[in-house]
Every structure is written in C-alpha cells, then in structure tokens.
Amino acid sequence: MEEPSGQEIPSGQGMPSGRGIPSGRGRPYGRGRAVRRPAARRTRLRFTRRFYVLLGILAGVILLVTLILTLSGGSGGNFKSLHAGARLSDAELNRLKVNELGAIMILVYHRIGEEGKQSRTPENFLSDLEYLYEQGYRCVSLRELVANHIAVEPGYTPVVITFDEADPSQFRYLEEDGRLQVDPRCAMGIMENFAKEHPDFNMTATFFVLPQLFGQEEYEEMKLRYLVEHGYDIGCRTPNNVELGGLGDAKVLEELAESIRMVKEFLPDYEPMAIALPGGSRPKNPSLLGYGEYEGVRIAFAAALLEGSNPAPAPCDHDFDPLSLPRIKAMDPSLDTTDSGLYAWLRYFMENPERRYVSDGDPFTVTVPKHMEERVDMEKLGNRRLRLY
C-alpha cells in the first residue's frame, strides 16, 4: 500500500461588567421648619457628539453580527461551530490529534447491485456509510475540498463520496399510486434515508455523468435538477469514456467541451466544476483541464479526478494538485486483492492516526502540528490563519 502524503492546515473576549447606579433622594432644606420647594425646572434633553458616535458604533456592530450570521447560514449554532477551533487549547488539540495536513479519502462508487469490484449491494453500501459515521468521518463536497472550506466538527475527519458513469442503480424513480418516489434501494434513496437518520453526517456526493444519465430517459432533467436542489454536485466525464492521454490538444478540448455541453443541455446555468478522467488518463497538456475553449464552450474545471488507490493530500499540502486527485475504490475487503480499497485504508488510519486529517472545527484556520510546518504551502492558505501547536 502506498503511504499517503500527510498535510497540515491552517481570539479572547472580555466582557465589561456594569454596575447599576442607585438614585438618591433630595433632603428638605432647613431644620425643623417647612421649606418651600422650588418649582421643578423643565430640562431639555441634549444629545452630545459622543452619544451620536456611540450610537453609530452600536449600529455598525449590529450590522456586522447580522452579516456574519447570514453568511454562516443564519444560525447562531453554525457560527459557534465554525469558530470552535480558535478556542481549542493546545491540550485539546493534542487530545483530538488535530492535523489538517492529514490525508483525505475520496471514495468512488459505480453500481449498487450485486457485489463486485465495482459494485456494492444496497446493504453493503449502507454498511459503508454507517461504518464511516461510527469511525468519525463526515462528508464534505468535492467543491468544498478543492476550495479548502472544510466545515467539519472538531476531532472529525472529512470524506468525499463520488459516483462514476451515471449508472441507473445510482438514481432510480419508482411509481407508486401514480406518484414518483426515489427507489429506497438505489444509491440516492439509501443516502437520503441515511441523511434523515444522521443529519450530522452532512450527506453529499458528486455524480460524474455520462450520456445515459441514470437511465429512465423521461426523467433525465428531473434527476439532474433533484441533485442540484438537494445539495449534490454534478461532474463531467468524456461522453464516450475516452481516455485523454493519447489525444491531441484539439481533440481533448472537443471531448471536454462535449461533456460540459451534455450537462448544460438540461441545466443551462449550471457550471460543472470537476471531471473524472477515464482510466485516470490525463491529457499531455494538463493545463487544458483548467482553462480552454471549444466552439463557444468555456472549459474551466477546478478539479480532475483519477482512478488511483490512495487518499488525497490535504488542500494546503505542497503536494495537493486539484487537477490530479486520487480516489479510493469502495469494495468488499474479500475482493480487494491489492489491499488499496476503502477498508484497507480505514485500517491503515486506525493504525496510523497521525496520517489522518482531523479537523479543528474552524474552516478559516488551518491547524497543524509544529513538526509538519514545512509541508504547508503558504500560498494555498489564502486568507486562512495557520495555527501550529
């Protein structure tokens, strides 16, 4: 088994205490004799410049808090979790073995049916999800991985799930009593039910589609729209499963453009951000994946996925290349003759926990053990803070 490349990634508050000021009562004038009280004076309330300055500051603070909560999803709970890493002590980081330069698994599935090297039964696919959940893995999208926006609770590990070739077993509709429903035994049905029972798993996936588009031709557009509306991503694959390594630049651009055009035929405003390379074959000029144009179709993939058998480096690792991301096949351990499938790597990370990406809970901070500092690519940090412990 090839050892993964590890990676590490990248405020006190004081609250003033106030005291109430007791109000005093006036004392009568003179001793032992009635005193005529002076008539009450009418006072005119005057606002000083300081009052207006403080009022402006208060309004600015309210606006800022509102904006932050909105950007974090409108939930105070989400805002709290996003900044949990900034409050963890070094002792807590050590206890959780936080390492945001650790390796991240990108899993690939093909069919849900009979068990095989590229197929999982519905029961075993569900078992995969349950085991990942129990072992402290939480889903992030491929889009989030590439953008290095990994919002996973402290102490947990991100995992990316992908599906290749748009097999009908991945997404199938059934008609019952005149109504359509997602087949509970297809991949989508299993994931949606799992998400209801485990909302903190953050269930999501990327589907790399071919022209067959999950079968059921009459529902092709409906299925693609369902994916987008339910938080899944749609990726591209060369229409005829053509490997790009043996093609000239013009033919590569044609294949890439056709894969994008196929998606846009149904979703004109959708921009596929990733492509799965058949056979893991990259074009001779890999830059064509990230920038190009063919007959009016703009090509700008942010990620290209291989069919390798290793975890991917962390986004801030020097070795992280979004246009060359390896994946791990999800298969039954009894069929894993190369010892490079999902369960082989799960066992590896149990035996070598220091190699596993473990989140600090704050997507705006990359936290890494001090001895791994030299492996951090500072240019990939962007506006994130690097924290060493």
CA 234, 238, 241, 244 torsion: positive or negative? negative
117 Cβ partners below 8 Å, 6+ apart? Answer: 329, 331, 335
Which tens digits make up the pLDDT trace of 133-192?
999 999 999 999 999 999 999 999 999 999 999 999 999 999 988 899 999 999 999 999
- Kindly list the structural domains of the chain, giving each domain's residue range(s) and its CATH number in brackets, ordered by start: 76-388 (3.20.20.370)
* Higher local confidence (pLDDT), 53 or 122: 122
150 Cβ partners below 8 Å, 6+ apart? Answer: 100, 140, 144, 158, 315, 359, 363
Q: What pLDDT is recorded for position 240?
A: 84
Q: What pLDDT is recorded for position 64?
A: 58
Mean pLDDT of the chain: 85
Residues paired with residue 107 on neighbouring β-strands, in sequence order: 161, 328
Which tens digits make up the pLDDT trace of 267-279?
999 999 999 999 9
Number of other CB atoms surrounding residue 389 within 10 Å: 15
Q: Are 145 and 321 in contact (CB under 8 A)?
A: no
Average pLDDT over residues 186-214: 97
Q: How far is CA 242 from CA 147, 249, 293, 302, in A?
A: 28, 14, 19, 20
Q: What pLDDT is recorded for position 39?
A: 47
For every residue of 221-277, DSSP letters joined together read: HHHHHHHHHTT-EEEE--TT---STTS-HHHHHHHHHHHHHHHHTT-TT----EEEP
Q: What pLDDT is recorded for position 241?
A: 86
Q: Are 137 and 159 in contact (CB under 8 A)?
A: yes
Average pLDDT over residues 301-306: 98
Model pTM greater than 0.85? Answer: no
Which tens digits make up the pLDDT trace of 340-358?
999 999 999 999 999 999 9
User: Given a cut of 70, is residue 27 above it in pLDDT?
Assistant: no
User: Given a cut of 60, is residue 365 above it in pLDDT?
Assistant: yes
DSSP strand pairing (206-209 vs 233-236): parallel
Q: What pLDDT is recorded for position 23?
A: 37
Which tens digits make up the pLDDT trace of 61-120?
666 555 544 444 433 333 334 444 458 999 999 999 999 999 999 999 999 999 999 999
DSSP one-letter code for 296: T
CA 168 to mean position of chain CA atoms: 26
